[in-house]
Structure 1
Amino acid sequence: MISRRGVLLGAGLALLSSRAVAAPSVASIVKPLPASDFIVHGTNAETRWEALRGTGGSLTPVSKFFVRNHTSTPLLDASTWRLQIHGSGVTRPLSLSLDVLRSLPSCSVEAVIECAGNGRSFFASQQGQSVSGTPWQLGVVGNARWRGVSLGLLLRLAGLRSSAVDVLPVGLDAEYMTGGVNLGRVRRPLPVAKALDDVLVAYEMNGAPLPVDHGFPARLVVPGWVGIASIKWLGSLEVSTSALHSPWDTQYYRLLGPTYPAEGTLVTSQVAKGAFELGFGATLPAGRQVLTGRAWAPGGVRRVEVSTDGRSWRRATPVTRGGWTRWQIPWRATPGSHVLRVRVDGQPDEVPHNTQGYLFGAVVKHPVSVV
């Protein structure tokens, strides 16, 4: 076990610097975005579910993993990058280089990252309700194996005070402008209890260094919570003995609507969902088919059911389990139009409306044609 003194001295940790972080160069999205794999929405790219069919295993290949950016992908210099840990909630502010971060005891987790707005378009198409935001289908979700350092370990090395209540991770992507207002860098507070539980400061994805679009040099991974909590291009962690806030927990990522309090309800954990590895409106040949897909839920998937006739449900067979569950089920397809449905752990047919279209957790109707 590495002692605190050994880490602080031997690994060369420095006190928090007051120098401003230099503005990085940027690119909208760096990796290739073939139309066969992605639906591009400005600075974002949604994975096509049919692109995952046949990929094998439970992990989403990095080349097919969705990209959700508020601005553009920053191109950061790993040699000068530092993770700053500071604030009233710690006694020893730290500045960690990537080499120092990688020298610390590591751990890994297989976890799903999913945008809070995944499925947003179905509020309109299935429930006839108006919502704001990018009209995602179900492709802003992916599962990867992340490796890095426990956030809890880093907080303890920084001398976490027992009175600390919140941790505010801040990304190094460009400041976000909307409606002529500068909201600053993307940031969203985490309660200390969650930070100490299962949160990871990750520097690897699927066994390789983080790609630039997915947070290089380091990012947070917050299992079970909406994607905005897993801040990419992590630059600093403010630890505070009083509550911290940002536009990403006060203005955005709140459930607002007729069934919610006037101030809204903060969005934290995700909801159960499932998807077919098929395009919407796909054409399939008549005869015996094997339908495949994935299912995911914050606490793990217990039951996956599929309906091919609009009336009855059959239980699907799990193929692999991990951050999500791959499943399959046979189907004898007859010519004509069909609506397929997958239900995970008893998903409802409809969910309460919220104006920003978060957490669509109802069963999705998936049309296909059989010829």
Structure 2
Amino acid sequence: DVLLAYEMNGEPVPYDHGYPVRVLVPSWVGIASIKWVGDIEVSAQPLFSPWNTAFYRLFGPAHPPEGSAPLTRQTLKSAFELASGATLPAGERQVLHGRSWSGAAAIARVDVSTDGGASWRQARLHDDSRSGTWTRWSVPWTPGTPGPTQLLARATDTAGRRQPDVAVPNTQGYLFDAVVRHPVTVVGRHRSTPPRNESS
């Protein structure tokens, strides 16, 4: 399922995205999606380079001294389609949107918290569950008490993996998969002051 992409949104691939051609490898980490392809060589032997053999591994106290196995599949992740630090009016119904994806399997469900993780409810999935693709989701929310809060989204895939609360650290920060705390502020609705009836 590897793709050779020469267009993006109907236009030639921009230079910073890999013009003239970029390799896209679904479900794998971004290092496999090579930019600025100039030629392709078919070989019976695997390519060995410092990047795919020595550099792109997990290093740190939780990993072997020589590092983990070379990185391949992407982890499980979720993101809100909302600016960090957004302000939302209290008492007005909102629909929160986001996307989740997994390198190992299709997305099975997404749970969302609007109170910093104290409670969770299941989001509605908008796409057929397929491996290697984003899955769009949404959940309605009517913000209550004004003040800061944190939105959280936690995905589970069909392989049984669920995003953890805390990621296992590594020195380069690769494959971060923890639930991200998305800050927002709920603000009170402003009421307009009626004009005074002044006599002449």
TM-score normalised according to structure 1 size: 0.44
How far is 1:245 from its partner?
A: 2.0
Give 1:72's aligned residue.
none
Partner of 2:149: 338
Q: CA deviation at 1:228?
A: 1.3
2:106 is aligned with 1:296: no
Structure 2: give runs of 5+ residues left out of the alignment: 157-161, 188-200
Match of 1:354 in 2: 170
Alignment partner of 1:259 is 2:62: yes
SS at match of 2:20: coil
Task: Encode CA deviations 1:231-288: one digit per residue, 9 max, x unaligned.
Answer: 1110133444444322322443211111212221211110111111122222111122
CA-based RMSD of the aligned residues comes to 1.8
Identity %, equivalent residues: 60
The structure richer in helix per residue is: 1
What secondary structure sits across from 2:52 in the alignment?
helix
Q: Equivalent residue for 2:119?
A: 312
Structure 1's unaligned 5+ residue stretches are: 1-197
What SS does the aligned partner of 1:292 have? strand
* Aligned twin of 1:205: 8
Which one of 126, 137, 147 corresponds to residue 327 of structure 1? 137
* 1:87-139 Cα deviation digits (max 9, x unpaired): xxxxxxxxxxxxxxxxxxxxxxxxxxxxxxxxxxxxxxxxxxxxxxxxxxxxx
Deviation at 1:300, TM superposition (A): 2.1
Q: Mean alpha-carbon deviation: is it higher for 220-229 or for 287-296?
A: 287-296
Question: 1:80-91 counterparts in 2 under 5 A?
Answer: none
Amino acid paired to 1:314: R
SS in 2 for 1:352: coil
What is the rounded CA distance, in whole Å, between the counterparts of 2:40 and 2:50 in structure 1?
Answer: 17
Q: Which is higher, the Rg of structure 1 or of structure 2?
A: 2
Structure 1 residue matching 2:118: 3-state secondary structure: coil
Aligned-partner residue type, residue 308 of structure 1: T
Instruction: Supply the distance in 2 between the matched residues of 1:240 and 1:258 (Cα, whole angstroms).
Output: 37
Q: Structure 1, residues 27-56: CA drift from partner, whole Å, max 9, x if none? A: xxxxxxxxxxxxxxxxxxxxxxxxxxxxxx
The equivalences for 1:1-371 within 5 A come to: 198-265=1-68, 266-287=70-91, 288-298=93-103, 299-309=105-115, 310-321=117-128, 323-334=133-144, 335-345=146-156, 346-371=162-187
CA offset at residue 217 of structure 1?
2.0
Between the two structures, name the one with larger relative contact order (CA 8 Å, sep ≥ 6): 2
SS in 1 for 2:84: coil
Q: What is the aligned length?
A: 174
Query: Cα deviation per residue 1:48-96 (whole Å; 9 max; x = unaligned)?
Result: xxxxxxxxxxxxxxxxxxxxxxxxxxxxxxxxxxxxxxxxxxxxxxxxx
CA distance in 1, matches of 2:31, 2:98: 25
Tell me the SS of whatever aligns to 1:255.
coil
User: Normalised by the size of structure 2, how large is the TM-score?
Assistant: 0.79
